[in-house]
């Protein structure tokens, strides 16, 4: 096997598969990337952890066809350290060692026989498609609600529903639920209803963001009995389907709410963040008292200190007090901020809450005019939040209050 390839192209594609390369030594071959020639001018790089597989095709000059397994992380580190230009790979005839030449540097890496790499599912047709920016929005603004509990299989992913006229993504951990709905242009007879695992969401988000900045190509997707497939830009993401039944999310969405209050997103987000700093408890509780013209936010149940913030609000009902997990509020507020930032500048990537579900710290400020509509009936019943303005997406967030 021998081929010549551009350093920048190889570095980018090796970067894509790092998220699925196994770091543990349980099955050594899973720490490797399968490098193989396909046709006359394509090198295919594949990484897998058996649940999620990432495959990338790259244009290259094929001198001699073949395939070999190389340590994925080590290969990536070496390739990205080069200064650009062309890299030559040559597998030694009698062994699985590979010689890598770039400029005046020459390296030899020990490889494994390609036959040791796990057999991967054959990709099926992907009859459905959505724009990459829709996938990016969906994942950005629902994935933080996916449960981190591995044992809760049915909740450890986001549900994607597509009926040709609209698309919905919804995620929940049993305490809160995030849902985004988008009405699509045109119609299709295709249908899709499946759970996308948490790790696959992370990898799909990477592909969507890359597609957004490089091409207008949509992301095609489909399924078979055991796997999901997502394809775009020479990349194929395959994920093993989750077992279990996703709960009936429509039953959770509040129907006839009695009270509504609107408030400024940025003011409230910053106030909740400051108050959350005073709590060492896991749920970092914050008490919210809603009264005519304002919302009072107060840190409670803390042994560090206390704090109170007042935020102006539009409300003319009876005074009511509700307790919330401040992390749940912040993750929603930050997701709205990233949505508003992306809406105002399509060339700017969202840098707030992502598919990894990272804890919410203050994100880059969105528009100070962005307002949140909070809808509720009673202090101990699910509370729904949404963006007051029309953004092109129906984005709803339902969260269970804390007992005060």
pLDDT tens, position by position, 268-287? 999 999 999 998 788 889 99
- Distance, in Å, from the CA atom of 127 to the CA atom of 219, rounded to the nearest integer, reads 10
Q: Over the chain (404 residues), what is each successive 10-residue block's mean pLDDT?
A: 96 94 82 95 96 96 96 95 94 92 92 93 83 95 91 89 93 95 83 93 95 91 93 94 89 88 95 91 90 93 86 94 95 79 43 42 54 90 91 93 86
- Distance, in Å, from the CA atom of 327 to the CA atom of 132, rounded to the nearest integer, reads 28
3-state secondary structure of 87: strand
- Distance, in Å, from the CA atom of 193 to the CA atom of 246, rounded to the nearest integer, reads 11
Per-residue pLDDT, 340 = 52
**Burial letters for 367-377: b for 16+ Cβ neighbours within 10 Å, e otherwise?**
eeebbbbbbbb
Contact status, residue 44 vs residue 55, Cβ threshold 8 Å: yes
Per-residue pLDDT, 68 = 96
Q: What is the dihedral of CA 298, 386, 132, 342, to 10 degrees?
A: -60
Per-residue pLDDT, 192 = 92
Nearest in space to 158 (alpha carbons), one of 249, 71, 29: 249
Which residue in the block uniquely carries the two structure tokens 């007051």?
388
Which residue in the block uniquely carries the two structure tokens 């994942």?
139
205: tokens are 């988000």
DSSP-assigned letters across all residues of 155-186: GSEEEEEE-SSEEEEEEE-SSEEEEEEEEPSS
For the packed helices 326-344 and 265-276, what is the interaxial angle rounded to 10 degrees? 140
Contact status, residue 374 vs residue 392, Cβ threshold 8 Å: no
Determine the length of the chain: 404
Q: Could you tell me which residues are beta bridge partners of residue 97?
A: 110
What is the distance between the terminal CA atoms of the chain, rounded to a whole angstrom? 67
Per-residue pLDDT, 255 = 84
- Measured from the Cβ of residue 36, the count of other Cβ atoms closer than 10 Å reads 18
Nearest in space to 169 (alpha carbons), one of 218, 124, 130, 199: 130
Nearest in space to 140 (alpha carbons), one of 300, 315, 332: 332
């Amino acid at each position: 096997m021998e081929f010549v390839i551009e350093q920048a192209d190889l570095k980018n594609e090796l970067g894509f598969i790092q998220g699925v390369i196994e770091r543990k030594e349980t099955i050594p071959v899973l720490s490797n990337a399968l490098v193989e020639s396909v046709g006359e001018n394509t090198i295919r790089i594949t990484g897998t952890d058996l649940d999620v597989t990432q495959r990338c095709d790259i244009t290259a000059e094929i001198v001699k066809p073949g395939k070999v397994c190389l340590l994925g992380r080590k290969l990536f580190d070496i390739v990205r350290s080069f200064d650009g230009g062309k890299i030559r790979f040559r597998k030694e005839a009698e062994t699985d060692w590979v010689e890598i030449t770039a400029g005046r540097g020459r390296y030899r890496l020990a490889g494994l026989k390609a036959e040791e790499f796990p057999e991967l599912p054959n990709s099926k047709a992907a009859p459905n498609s959505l724009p990459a920016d829709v996938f990016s929005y969906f994942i950005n603004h629902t994935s933080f609600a996916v449960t981190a509990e591995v044992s809760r299989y049915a909740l450890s992913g986001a549900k994607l529903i597509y009926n040709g006229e609209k698309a919905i993504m919804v995620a929940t951990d049993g305490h809160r639920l995030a849902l985004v709905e988008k009405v699509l242009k045109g119609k299709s007879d295709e249908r899709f209803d499946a759970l996308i695992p948490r790790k696959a969401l992370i990898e799909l988000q990477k592909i969507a963001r890359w597609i957004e900045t490089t091409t207008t190509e949509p992301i095609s997707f489909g399924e078979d009995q055991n796997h999901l497939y997502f394809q775009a830009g020479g990349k194929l993401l395959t994920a093993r389907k989750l077992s279990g039944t996703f709960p009936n999310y429509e039953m959770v969405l509040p129907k006839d709410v009695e009270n509504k209050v609107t408030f400024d997103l940025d003011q409230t987000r910053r106030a909740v963040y400051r108050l959350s700093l005073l709590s060492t408890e896991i749920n970092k509780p914050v008490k919210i008292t809603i009264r005519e013209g304002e919302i009072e936010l107060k840190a409670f149940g803390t042994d560090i200190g206390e704090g109170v913030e007042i935020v102006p609000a539009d409300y003319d009902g009876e005074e009511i007090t509700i307790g919330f997990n401040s992390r749940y509020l912040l993750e929603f507020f930050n997701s709205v901020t990233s949505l508003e930032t992306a809406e105002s500048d399509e060339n700017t990537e969202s840098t707030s809450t992502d598919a990894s579900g990272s804890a919410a710290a203050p994100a880059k400020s969105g528009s100070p005019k962005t307002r949140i509509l909070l809808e509720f009936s009673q202090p101990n019943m699910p509370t729904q939040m949404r963006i007051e303005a029309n953004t092109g997406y129906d984005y709803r967030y339902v969260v269970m209050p804390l007992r005060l």
